[in-house]
Amino acid sequence: MSLVLTTASVPDREKVAYWNDAVSRALVPLTVTPRGEGPFDGRIASGRLGYLQVCTMEADAERVSRTPALIAGSSEALVSVAVQISGTATVVQDGRRAEVAEGELVVCDTTRPYSVDYPQRFATHVFQLPRRTLGVPDDDVRRVTGSAIGTADGVGAMLLPFLATLASSGADRYPQVVANRLAGNVVDLLSTLIAERAHHGGTESDGRSHLMLRVLDHINRNLGDPDLSPERIAREHRISVRYLHRLFEGEGTTVGQFVRRRRLEECRRELARRGRTTPTVSAVAQRWGFVNPAHFSRSFRAEYGVSPREWRSLRTDRDAGAARDGEHQGADLPRSSG
């Protein structure tokens, strides 16, 4: 691994602050709180395998949190896969709580809040990859997060030992062309694992599966229509409302929840976007089918932990800070004599 950060030579009073910074630099911005008393000890080694970030972390008992404020300050959507080497972890994301034992893995989405509790000293391999490389729907990723996956769980039997071997052998030892191919293999296996677990009801007929895909496509193309309702969706596809609800029961959600979540995702993306003209929060909400601004604000806060205005402000502050850093760096460059 190319970078190793450790608290070993750090003064005791500075260890916690140092460790917070080290973990946030190696992974994504996180808040780390030690669970024990006395001097904290931690070590994290990181490297790259193509477009994968590969880290091995060993530390004393701690709690790791990814908060809405930290999410708003991050520039890229990542998916994190942690393989538990020793000790245990309790992971909470998307309303699920997973007890992760040694030899199991767990998937987290860095664009939504999560927490990880390590009750005693532990070691874990963490792989991070760009969310866009997976090529799977947001809702499929959401169905997999916060669940412990072992070697007895289908594709997990192939993915787990593969990840453990890659991390243990040292990600930086492979030539670039080999590293890129290995990264592609990880993405392929993880995408397959997500599809397997998100659609475990594989006994459905092909006709029912194709119908569900048409329904989802119809919803995504009509998110801005405030009159989009189960009744209209069912009528468009010549099925009963009751049968439509049964389709979504198989997906672990309801029609209304899916529509609201997709609208919120599009609003979140638009509010984070910078441009010459900035639409109001109300305009963004109406564009994506929310008629009542107060209802939109409540729904947004319930989903992401901050209000729409707070989300936009956090993103704007981050972008402004990045721009200032760029100006400062540019000011330090030597001027051309020509």
Distance in angstroms (rounded) separating the CA atoms of residues 92 and 98: 6
Strand partners, 128: 53, 80
Per-residue tokens: 69: 């404020």
Contact between residue 147 and residue 140 where contact means Cβ atoms under 8 Å apart: no
Q: What pLDDT does residue 331 have?
A: 47
Fold type of domain 206-321: Arc Repressor Mutant, subunit A (1.10.10)
Return the structure tokens found at 221: 């193309």
Which CA distances in Å does 268 have to 71, 139, 197, 227, 254? 12, 15, 26, 21, 21
Sheet of 122-130: strand order equals: 3-6, 42-49, 52-59, 122-130, 78-86, 105-109, 148-149
* CA–CA distance, 279 with 300 (Å, rounded to integer): 17
Helices 206-221 and 241-249: angle between axes, nearest 10 degrees:
100
Domains 3-198 and 206-321 share a fold: no
pLDDT at residue number 273: 77
pLDDT at 196 (0 to 100):
84
**Angle, helix 308-331 to helix 255-271, in steps of 10 degrees:** 30
Tokens 């602050």, residue located: 17
Can you list the residues of the chain whose pLDDT is less than 50?
1, 201-207, 323, 329-338
3-state SS assignment for residue 89: strand
Instruction: Give the bridge partners for 149, in sequence order.
Output: 105
Name the residue ranges covered by the structural domains of the chain.
Answer: 3-198, 206-321
Q: What is the CATH code for 3-198? A: 2.60.120.10
Per DSSP, 335 falls in state: P
